Amino acid sequence: MGTSQIQRKTHIECRAVLFDLDGVLIDSTECILRHWRDWAEKNHVDIRKIERVAHGLRTVETMRLVAPHQNVEQDAATFHDHELLDTEGIIAIDGALRLLTALPEWSWTIVTSASRDLVKVRMAKAGLQMPEKCVTADDVRNGKPSPEPYLLGAEKLGNTPQECVVVEDAPSGIEAGKKAGMRVIAIASTHSRQTLLETEADYIVDRLLDLHISSSDDDRILSIMLE
C-alpha cells in the first residue's frame, strides 16, 4: 500500500480530475438507503449485507451479490424507476459547488455507477451542473471495480491515465482508479480512514473541503493542494 496520510499540505499536478458522484460531490446516503431498505424488506434480504457491498457498485451488481436467486435485472429496473421519482434528502457535499464552479470544462468530469438519467436528477436536486462528458453505468459493460469507467473518462477528456487524478470514497472505486493506472485521492466520507488505509489510495483526506484546485488555461495544468 502506498497511501499517504496528509500530515501537511501536499501538492499534485495533473491534467484532469475524475470525480465519483455519490459520497464525493453529493450526499445521497439517506435517499439510497431508504430505497434499499424497501427492497430488502420486500425480498427478505438482510439490509446489513447490502450496506456492506452496495456503495460504489451498480444496483444490478449489488443485487446479484445479495440475492442471486432473484430476477435481478427486472428488480434493478424497478429500483431505478423509484430512484428517479424520489430524490428526497439528496444535497451537495460541502465544497462541491465552489470546487466545480472554479474548474474549467476541459479539466474534469464525473465517473459514476449511476445511470445517466439518475445523475441528471441527483445533480439537479443538489444544485450542481452535470458535465457533458460524464461516464455513467449506461456507458460501460463493466462497472467499478473494473478500470473501464475511469479509462473511458480519461479518453473522453483526451488525456492519458497517467495525466488523471481520481477522487473517490469507495474501495471499489479506488480499486478501479488504480487499475486504470491513475493516482487516487480517497475522501473519508462514507468509509472510515482505517478502511481507506487498507486500499491502494495514494492520498486520504477527511473532506472534499480539503481539496483546493487551481488551473492554468495556457498549458492546461491543474494544481491540486491537499490539506
Question: Active-site residue numbers?
Answer: 20, 22
How long, in residues, is the chain? 227
User: Within a 10 A sphere around the Cβ of 107, how many other Cβ atoms?
Assistant: 20
Q: Which amino acid is at 110?
A: I
The C-alpha atoms of residue 56 and residue 49 are separated, in whole angstroms, by 14
User: Within a 10 A sphere around the Cβ of 174, how many other Cβ atoms?
Assistant: 27
| 8 Å CB contact between 144 and 172 | yes
Give the contacts of 80 (CB within 8 A, at least 6 positions apart): 59, 115, 117, 118
The C-alpha atoms of residue 117 and residue 137 are separated, in whole angstroms, by 10
Cell of 187: 475522501
Q: Classify residue 23 as left (phi > 0), alpha (psi -120 to 50) or beta.
A: left
